[in-house]
Amino acid sequence: MARRKRQTTAQSIVGLATTGMPEPVRSILSSRLGSLLILLGIPILVGLGIIHISWTGGRPQITIDKQRAQQVRQELRHEVETRTAHALDDWRQKQ
């Protein structure tokens, strides 16, 4: 007899939130990895101002600010390049 895998709390939450979506989409979003990425990623994107959620008529309206996403991407790229350059300089000085 095959045992059914237990769902995580994140999977249960995403499963409820995706009620009414097509089954292939629901199965991807409510997988262990998909649900974790959604529960961590959405709040981060909202906090960065890339995604805006507004409730109208009892349904959420999600808008994506592409200009803000591009700005965050450039800031992140600059931060990574700066930290990489500093780490490389530190490494070279120790050699």
Q: In this predicted model, what pLDDT tens digit does every residue of 34-87 receive, in sequence order?
A: 888 888 998 999 999 999 989 888 887 889 999 999 999 999 999 999 999 999
Cα–Cα distance, 5 to 9 (Å, whole number): 13
pTM above 0.85, yes or no: no
Residue 12: phi and psi, rounded to 5, are -65, -45
Structure tokens at 36: 């974790």
Binned at pLDDT 50, 70 and 90, residue 27 comes out as confident
List of residues 6+ apart from 26 with CB closer than 8 A: 15, 18, 19
